[in-house]
Amino acid sequence: MKTNAYSVPARVGTEVEARLGPAHVSLWQDGRCLARHERSYGRHQQVLNLEHYLDVLERKPGALAGSTPLAQCRARGLWPAAFDALWGQLMARYGKQDGTRQMIAVLQLGRQHGMTRMAEIAAQALSLGCIEEAAIRHLVAAERLVRPTVPAVPVGALTRYDRPAPTMAGYDQLLTVEVPA
């Protein structure tokens, strides 16, 4: 803490309390834990969590590609290949700026649903070819939808409505009648 910096999802200048453990650093404010990081025993290290920067990156999407939090996320193995594939397709379809904005929106969904689940949904979206943010939101919501099963209707009672097919012989009479001109 004296020589290392740890990220928190709070505005700059906000005072937080750091609680040091042998393996973790917890950052608290007003009795609630804002962030928990693995403790770094090096000196002058930055331990950053990408989720803590998503609100800032939403306003400045161009900063995501070269950001230190993203680089650390990749180095820790927390950035799956599905995210890179999705981000690449979003940028190809919508341009660098708007594609990155949509990717940040997908990452923000990960706050609520977990990044592991979002990686699965990103892979599913890629396989379905529906990479838009709205489609991904739908895939997230589709899990919670209740799909009622419709019981099979017995059709045996409907046989009372069966009727024989009409004969077409009566229509042949119309062909024999001449109409005056």
Q: What is the mean pLDDT of the chain?
A: 87
pLDDT at residue 180 above 80? no
Q: Where are the domains of the chain?
A: 1-47, 50-144
- For 52-92, what is each residue's pLDDT tens digit? 888 889 889 999 999 999 999 999 898 999 999 999 999 99
- For 83-120, what is each residue's pLDDT tens digit? 999 999 999 999 999 999 999 999 999 888 988 999 99
**Ramachandran region of residue 164, left (φ > 0), alpha (ψ -120 to 50) or beta?**
beta
User: How many other CB atoms sit within 10 Å of the CB of residue 69?
Assistant: 21
Among 86, 85, 53, 95, residue whose Cα is nearest residue 71: 53
Query: Which residue blocks in the chain are alpha helix, DSSP H?
Result: 54-59, 68-75, 81-113, 115-128, 133-142, 169-176
